[in-house]
Chain A
Amino acid sequence: MNDIPQLFEFDVYGLSKQEKTRFLLEHLNVLTKSHYENCQEYEHIINAYNVKFGSVKSLDEIPFLPVRLFKHTAIKSIDDDKVIKTLTSSGTTGQAVSRIYLDKETSAYQTKALVKIMQIFIGKQRLPMMIIDHQSVIKNRKSFSARGAGILGLANFGRKHFYALNDDDMSLKLDDAKKYVKDNPESPILLFGFTFMIWRYFVQALEKSGERLNLKNAILIHSGGWKKLEDEAVDNETFKARLKKVTGITKVHNFYGMVEQVGSVFVECEQGHLHAPIYADLLIRDAQDWAIKENGEEGIIQLLSILPHSYPGHSLMSEDRGTILGEDDCICGRMGKYFRVHGRVAMAEVRGCSDTYTQDTS
């Protein structure tokens, strides 16, 4: 049942609902069984729910794990000696980080999936790449921040990497950036950065300086969440409009993904919708009872992916709110579900005799 390598020959957004569902169901059921047999923690969880995974007939019957579980416990379905890479999420100080264990196979699948997806939006050539961050963000390989990991992950899609921000104060290296643009006239430039970084240290920096960078053929890929921009009342439309004003960029692609399911990369199409590739899918559930929400209704995002073979990450409940807008009928022409992410689920209220002395701010 290992036809995943063949899968990479298919069109990334080429399967319609019926075919995709059948195809995913088959693969996900195989994964449930495989993880049950190879991961004791997963086996215990499945047993606790008494799931008869042999008779799962629809995607919503596949048991799911909360993403936070990977922060609490090291969970994998392979022996220690097969682990070639361990991914970690960034955590705020004091929090545990997720640990995701990859073997050669899963790592290769995830890389391949990312390549296939990105090529749809940036083409097959490696483009000159301007990274809206500072050089040191990737320096310390031992203590990767999410930003460092994200940048390294996408760095392979570009060449002649140029870090546009100064190390000490994140200020924009405007002259160097202008020179970079001038030195690369033939091919479009690939810009990458975290959404907030782009907003604060690129768009707003250019606006403040009164200058423009001529990047009208460039492609911007960005990720990282909109929370900080929402706090400043900046939505996706505003972001794109202001960016266009100072750079001329029209090709902007946000993407949504998480370290717990690398390879599940949902990229924003020309219509502003995030799209599910053929390797992954999503369901929206009501947290009160895990019931599936209809298209157009907001709920919690559950992610499905056929890529995680080394750890039971093929069906995960995220802590993000989202809405599925439709399936197979996006104007951009790509098949599959398309959706919006609204942000994280809000923290629960503080209750009980909690530790406040150390938490109160002056």
Chain B
Amino acid sequence: MILFENVAPKKQSIESITKIATLKPFSPVVVDFISELSREILNSRKFRKHPEMIAFAYWMRVARLKYLHQEFEKKTNTGILAARGLIFHIAPSNVDSIFLYSILLSMLIGNTNIVRVSSRDSKQIVEILELFNVLFENKKYEDVRNRLAIVRYGHDEEVTKYFSNICDVRVIWGGDNTINTIRAISISPNATEICFADKTSLGIFDAKKYSLLDEKDEFIKRFINDSFWFAQMACSSPRLIIWRGEYDEILPAKKDFWLRVETRLQADLPDLSNMDFLNKLVFEQCVAIKGKAHIRASKNNYMNVVQIDNLKNISIEEHCGGGIFLEAHIGELNELSAFFTKRYQTIASLGIEKEEWLDFLEKKQPKGIDRIVPIGEALTFSPIWDGFDIMREFSREISLLV
């Protein structure tokens, strides 16, 4: 007998869930449910202090859902797109709400969803799940309610095995260890799997363009949002800053940049703990040990910068977050041709034109790099994530050629 706790809805029959038919993609009842959820979050006082939740709700508002529908329709010319069936999501435990997006996208496509959430979820996530239950009290959402089971259980292989064998897609949201553990549990031959492994992100700034910026403070504000939300622990948080330009362009640019960041942080200090400061002390010295590093003399420990001279020396995997940045210089973008690994996800870019990026990507075919976005957008979710077109992954195409 498999045991788990039903989180949302509070009562659910897994058996009926496995039997029920999927819905047509973007069925009105699902669109209505999600837009009401979005409105509830935006109107609630509980989420005001959590910008990532507000962003999430904003992302799911009606206008946006219409846009997603239009984009989805474009994904086939001759076929019909249908839901895949039963999607089994394994959510990470953290303050990062990113997995909620993929659940909602899956619901929009018409799938039935089983979601394992952690016992260590943040307060915000717990409250969002409560909202689901509140909405489910409305009979008009019965069709949505009957196609969702958000559950909680411990380290129980039997339960995971069971869900894995009845699903059509298994979605694993990080980290690498979790993925390896779960991959050892089989899924049925018809099922596919999407894994969001550990990722790292960075900023690449053109020094001259930075210096010429009119609204520097606006740029700084966006950078701080990108870097300090989730205490720099989101996969898209910039952890390394690469300046491009001549030495005499870079020097004044970065001096000005970090001073502004530091000043702005003082006005609104991020929520960091003693252990965060100690972790950063350990991290900066671990980097320094390798030699030729320079630790910026900061006013305090809220923002730490370690300049390194050689990109080869980076081991960005063991980043501790909390607002510590590695910093390097390049003369040209081409110097990065062998630098990226599959682990690099987001480049928050300033002053490098689209054409230049296109040229770099086409000529150098770098590994990794899932997205290149302007500063301020690093943490903005997109339905194309880690190189997966999530809506397509959750749907299947039926070729209708008669």
A350 & B94 in contact (Cβ 8 Å cutoff)? yes
Main secondary structure of the interface of A (DSSP, over half): loop
What's the nearest-Cβ distance from chain B to residue A101, in Å? 16
A353 & B98 in contact (Cβ 8 Å cutoff)? yes
Binary flags per residue of B296-334, CB closer than 8 Å to A gives 1, else 0: 010111100010000000000000011000000000000
Residues of chain A within 8 A of B291, CB atoms compared: 40, 44, 47
What's the nearest-Cβ distance from chain A to residue B386, in Å? 11
| A358 contacts the other chain (CB 8 A) | yes
A353 & B235 in contact (Cβ 8 Å cutoff)? yes
> Which of B101-109, B205-213, B269-277 has 4 or more CB atoms under 8 Å from chain A?
B269-277
A358 & B321 in contact (Cβ 8 Å cutoff)? no
| B289 contacts the other chain (CB 8 A) | yes
> Which of B96, B155, B196, B273 is within 8 Å of A357, CB to CB?
B155
Residues of chain B within 8 A of A69, CB atoms compared: 282, 285-286, 289
A49 & B321 in contact (Cβ 8 Å cutoff)? no
| A1 contacts the other chain (CB 8 A) | no
Given A44-B289, A66-B285, check contact A353 B277 (CB 8 Å). no
Residues of chain A within 8 A of B118, CB atoms compared: 356-357, 360
| B293 contacts the other chain (CB 8 A) | yes
Q: Of all chain A residues, which has the CB nearest B299?
A: A289
A354 & B285 in contact (Cβ 8 Å cutoff)? no
Q: Of all chain B residues, which has the CB nearest A347?
A: B275
| A328 contacts the other chain (CB 8 A) | no
| Number of residues on chain B facing chain A (CB within 8 A) | 58
Residues of chain A within 8 A of B178, CB atoms compared: 355-358
Q: Of all chain B residues, which has the CB nearest A317?
A: B281
What's the nearest-Cβ distance from chain B to residue A20, in Å? 27
Q: Of all chain B residues, which has the CB nearest A71?
A: B282
B93 & A354 in contact (Cβ 8 Å cutoff)? yes
Binary flags per residue of A314-343, CB closer than 8 Å to B gives 1, else 0: 000101010000000000000000000000
Question: Which residues of B, 132-147, contact A by the 8 Å Cβ criterion?
Answer: none
Binary flags per residue of B220-236, CB closer than 8 Å to A gives 1, else 0: 00000000001101110
Residues of chain A within 8 A of B174, CB atoms compared: 353-355
Question: Most chain-A Cβ atoms within 10 A of its Cβ — which of B93, B156, B233?
Answer: B93
> Which of A290, A353, A360 is within 8 Å of B196, CB to CB?
A353
Residues of chain A within 8 A of B90, CB atoms compared: 357
B288 & A48 in contact (Cβ 8 Å cutoff)? yes
Question: Which residues of B, 15-45, contact A by the 8 Å Cβ criterion?
Answer: none
Q: Of all chain A residues, which has the CB nearest B298?
A: A289
Q: Of all chain A residues, which has the CB nearest B3?
A: A362
| B279 contacts the other chain (CB 8 A) | yes
Residues of chain A within 8 A of B154, CB atoms compared: 360-362
| A345 contacts the other chain (CB 8 A) | yes
What's the nearest-Cβ distance from chain A to residue B227, in Å? 13
A348 & B295 in contact (Cβ 8 Å cutoff)? no
B288 & A44 in contact (Cβ 8 Å cutoff)? yes
Q: Of all chain B residues, which has the CB nearest A354?
A: B94
Binary flags per residue of B244-276, CB closer than 8 Å to A gives 1, else 0: 000000000000000000000000000001111
What's the nearest-Cβ distance from chain A to residue B17, in Å? 22
A66 & B299 in contact (Cβ 8 Å cutoff)? no
Residues of chain B within 8 A of A319, CB atoms compared: 275, 278
Some 29 contacts from A to B, beta carbons below 8 A apart, are A47-B288, A48-B306, A50-B294, A69-B285, A69-B289, A300-B278, A348-B279, A349-B95, A349-B231, A349-B273, A350-B94, A351-B94, A351-B95, A351-B96, A352-B94, A352-B96, A352-B235, A352-B321, A353-B94, A353-B173, A353-B174, A353-B175, A353-B196, A356-B94, A357-B181, A357-B182, A360-B118, A362-B153, A362-B156
Of all A-B residue pairs in the complex, the 6 with the closest CB atoms, nearest first, are: A362-B154, A352-B233, A48-B288, A356-B93, A353-B174, A289-B300
Question: Chain A: residues with CB nearer than 8 A to chain B?
Answer: 40-41, 44-45, 47-50, 65-66, 68-69, 72-73, 75, 287-290, 300, 317, 319, 321, 345-362
Q: List 9 additional contacts besides A300-B278, A352-B233; criterion CB under 8 Å.
A: A48-B284, A48-B293, A66-B281, A287-B277, A288-B302, A345-B278, A351-B321, A356-B178, A357-B90
